[in-house]
Structure 1
Amino acid sequence: MFNLLKRNRRTTSEYIFDNLNLFIMLVICFLTLYPIWYVIVNSLNEGMDAMKGGIYWWPREFTLSNYKAVFANQGILTSFGVTIAKTVIGTLTHVLFTAMVAYALSRRELRGRNIYMFVGIVTMFFSGGLIPYFLLLRDIGLLDNFLVYIVPALFNFFHLIIFVSFFREIPTSLEEAAKMDGASDIKIFLKVIIPLSMPVIATIALFQGVYQWNDYFAGIIFVNDPELQPIQTYLYKVVAESSSNQMMVNAPGGVANKSVTSQSIKLATMVVTTLPIVLVYPFLQKYFVKGMLIGSVKG
């Protein structure tokens, strides 16, 4: 009994180490979360007053004029609609297409399977470059087309590897039993494999959903039509260009509204475009971690 208590008793060095780790984690959490809090606080403060500085924890002159100016702009509402559409459609099509390819590559009887896997792995490290990619999308008619968000994102080889690892753990006896009942490969995939693969499907859907929501590059390079640009591209233009000045004109009261400045417009736009995914992500974190472990450990 004495030896057990002695083993459970922490030494001074262990106590110091644990508390030092706790302190470092708290510092990291603060450095991560405070910039987000700073942007939110300043976006809720009167614009001209915020330019004086000194606002760190709470709004000094609370106002919602910045957010009224943001939502008064029809462009941001259109961009939200584009982002929601491409996130939902892009995620569903990506999961279905990648799962179909992964299921085929997980079958050991597939001829040339190792060659396909090797070619796919090469594409993870090497690409043709942006200019050939742009010319390809132009030649197949995807520039200034909503499908530019969907078709190129149908397949991701990293996600395929996760799918393949999971599919290989499904007992082949289930497929053999389905074939004896007269089921085709497509029916086996839809009726047997998909229902058993909901954990990995949820994981890949979260991966792709977050990517689709945060993607701004495609809207900058491949889309010139403002009606087809997603919310993250809209945020880029507000921050990097002069779109915030136009939003000031459209604000309630127009340019005469002294409580709205271009800087306050930018901050409010940042909050509107990033807060939805920031709020959702902590609840989905466990699926991201699980997705990285799927297929790595059997049993």
Structure 2
Amino acid sequence: MERKKFNWRQQRTNGEIAFDWFNVTLMAVICFITLYPIWYIIVNSLNEGADAMLGGIFWWPRKFTLDNYTAVFQNSGVIKAFGVTILRTVVGTVTNVLFTAMVAYPLSKDHLVGRKFYMAMGTVTMFFSGGLIPSFLLYKNMQLLDTFWVYIIPGLFNFFNLIIFVNFFREIPGALEESASIDGATDWTIFTRIILPLSKPVLATIALFTGVYHWNDYFAGVIFINNPNLQPIQTFLYRIVAETGSTQMMATAGNITRTTTSLSIKLATMVVTTLPIVCVYPFLQKYFVKGMMIGAVKE
């Protein structure tokens, strides 16, 4: 006797089918609302600035040109700002991950004296801070203002990242550390030779969190930096957008200023500054989800 194949589609009601279509339609609308502003900026940045001022450009460039991007890259300030951002992201990410991991490892041990007090004290800092003015005065007394290290030293430690590290370290079997101790390994050897190699998932997660923060941060450059040679690319973009015109940038563009405007250069600058992180994010998105799951269970 031939067995009939079960078709789950035949068991669905009209209400379930309508609900699925509603979900698909809703998600399509949300995706469009989210992505179209980005597409609009890209399209207008690829159009002649003078022509774009006439309006009516929504889907494709009417007069395609790369003059806006040429004007951006001919400005030496953009190149310097990119260099500062890349250096800040690399140094800040490496130091934050290593320093936070070193603090989290002993806090993951129940036998640490004062462990609960340290965790409670750190939890308070997640909800309350000294504020901008005390931070500014502190950095001033530490002689960090207008230096590259104002980007690095205040961001060496993050308690939220520490919680993720602690929960991951507590999942590593203690027998590995005990066997290493019996063989004469010190705590530092255990941490560097055993714990860190086994912690690649959480290291990648925290590195991604920290790297995105350093790349996107503009506030520190606005408040704590006066030297234009030390401002990151996001601060450079902020100042370009905040200004009523981009005369300084357009002056460096030479003869192409006839087809560019302050608005078109601003749009091109936005694309240039956001494109690297947008391209990297889809490949690393899984680490965001995994990082949230690692730190989902708090103590």
> TM-score, normalised on structure 1?
0.95
Deviations 1:123-168 (A, max 9, x none): 0000111000000000001000101111001110000000000000
User: 2-side partners of 1:284 and 1:188: how far apart?
Assistant: 29
Q: Tell me the residue number matched to 1:285.
A: 285
User: 1-side partners of 2:132 and 2:200: how far apart?
Assistant: 35
SS of equivalent to 2:254: coil
Deviations 1:212-255 (A, max 9, x none): 0000000000000000000000000000025621111111316x
- Aligned pairs (5 A) from 1:3-152: 9-152=11-154
User: 2-side partners of 1:22 and 1:6: how far apart?
Assistant: 19
The amino acid of 1:90's aligned partner reads: G
Specify whether residues 12 and 88 from structure 1 end up closer, same or farther in structure 2 by C-alpha distance, changes over 3 A only.
same
Contact 2:81 2:236 in 1 (8 A): yes
The amino acid of 1:268's aligned partner reads: A
Identity, % of aligned positions: 67
Specify whether residues 106 and 2 from structure 1 end up closer, same or farther in structure 2 by C-alpha distance, changes over 3 A only.
same
SS of equivalent to 1:92: helix
Q: Tell me the residue number matched to 1:265.
A: 265
1:8 is displaced (CA, Å) by 6.3
Q: Bigger shift: 235-244 or 11-20?
A: 235-244
Q: Tell me the residue number matched to 2:230.
A: 228
User: 1-side partners of 2:164 and 2:252: how far apart?
Assistant: 47
The amino acid of 2:59's aligned partner reads: W
Specify whether residues 39 and 6 from structure 1 end up closer, same or farther in structure 2 by C-alpha distance, changes over 3 A only.
closer
The amino acid of 1:290's aligned partner reads: K
Deviations 1:235-277 (A, max 9, x none): 00000025621111111316xx320100101000000001111
Q: Which ranges of 4 or more aligned residues in structure 1 deviate by more than 2 Å?
A: 1-8
The amino acid of 2:270's aligned partner reads: M
User: 2-side partners of 1:68 and 1:76: how far apart?
Assistant: 11
1:282 is displaced (CA, Å) by 1.2
Contact 2:163 2:295 in 1 (8 A): no
Specify whether residues 44 and 295 from structure 1 end up closer, same or farther in structure 2 by C-alpha distance, changes over 3 A only.
closer
Contact 1:215 1:232 in 2 (8 A): yes
SS of equivalent to 1:45: coil
Q: Tell me the residue number matched to 1:187.
A: 189
Contact 2:48 2:64 in 1 (8 A): yes
Specify whether residues 139 and 44 from structure 1 end up closer, same or farther in structure 2 by C-alpha distance, changes over 3 A only.
same
Contact 2:145 2:225 in 1 (8 A): yes
Q: Bigger shift: 242-251 or 282-291?
A: 242-251
SS of equivalent to 1:125: coil
Q: Tell me the residue number matched to 1:209.
A: 211
User: 1-side partners of 2:8 and 2:214: how far apart?
Assistant: 54
Q: Bigger shift: 243-252 or 274-283?
A: 243-252
Deviations 1:169-207 (A, max 9, x none): 001110001101111111100000000000000000000
The amino acid of 1:109's aligned partner reads: H
Contact 1:237 1:243 in 2 (8 A): no
SS of equivalent to 1:169: coil
1:9 is displaced (CA, Å) by 1.5
User: 2-side partners of 1:55 and 1:62: how far apart?
Assistant: 11
User: 2-side partners of 1:13 and 1:274: how far apart?
Assistant: 42
The amino acid of 1:223's aligned partner reads: I
1:294 is displaced (CA, Å) by 1.3
Give me the CA root mean square deviation: 1.6
Contact 1:219 1:230 in 2 (8 A): yes
